[in-house]
Chains A and B, each alone.
Chain A
Amino acid sequence: MKRHGLLLLLMLAASLSLADAATGPSVRASTIWIRQAPPGVAVLAGYFTLQNLTDKPLTLTAVESRDFAAVEMHRSLVKDGVEEMEPVQRIVIPAQGSVEFKPGGYHLMMMQPKKNLFAGDMAEVMLTFSDGSQLAILAPVRHDPPQR
Chain B
Amino acid sequence: MKFKTTLPYAGLFVLAIAAGIITGHFVFQSRHAPPRPQTTAVLLHDAKPLPTFDLTGTDGKPFTKQSLIGHWSFLYFGYTHCPDACPTTLSALDHMMAALTKLPGARKPTVYFISVDPKRDDPALLKNYALYFNPNFVGATGSLDALRALTGPLGADFSYTPASQEGSYSVNHSSFVVLVDKEGEEVAVFDPPLNPRRMSADYLSILNYYGETE
Contacts and interface: CB of A to CB of B under 8 A. Distances in A.
A40 B170 CA distance: 17
Given A72-B164, A104-B88, A144-B91, A83 B175 contact: yes
A81 B157 CA distance: 9
Contacts of A144: 91
Interface string A78-97: 10011111010000000000
Contacts of A81: 155, 174-176, 191
Interface string A23-58: 000000000000101111101110000000000000
Interface residues of B, number: 31
A99 B192 CA distance: 20
- Main secondary structure, interface of A, reads strand
Interface residues on A, range: 20 to 34
B173 interface: yes
A76 B87 contact: no
A87 B164 contact: yes
B132 interface: yes
B128 interface: yes
A144 B172 CA distance: 24
A138 B16 CA distance: 79
Contacts of A37: 83, 87
B128 A85 contact: no
A76 B133 CA distance: 21
A109 interface: yes
Contact of B170 (A85, A104, A107): A85
Contacts of A39: 128-129, 132
A117 B108 CA distance: 34
A38 B85 contact: no
Nearest to A45: B83
B80 A82 contact: no
B129 A35 contact: no
Interface string A91-131: 00000000000011001011100000000000000000000
A70 interface: yes
Interface string B51-84: 0000000000000000000000000001011111
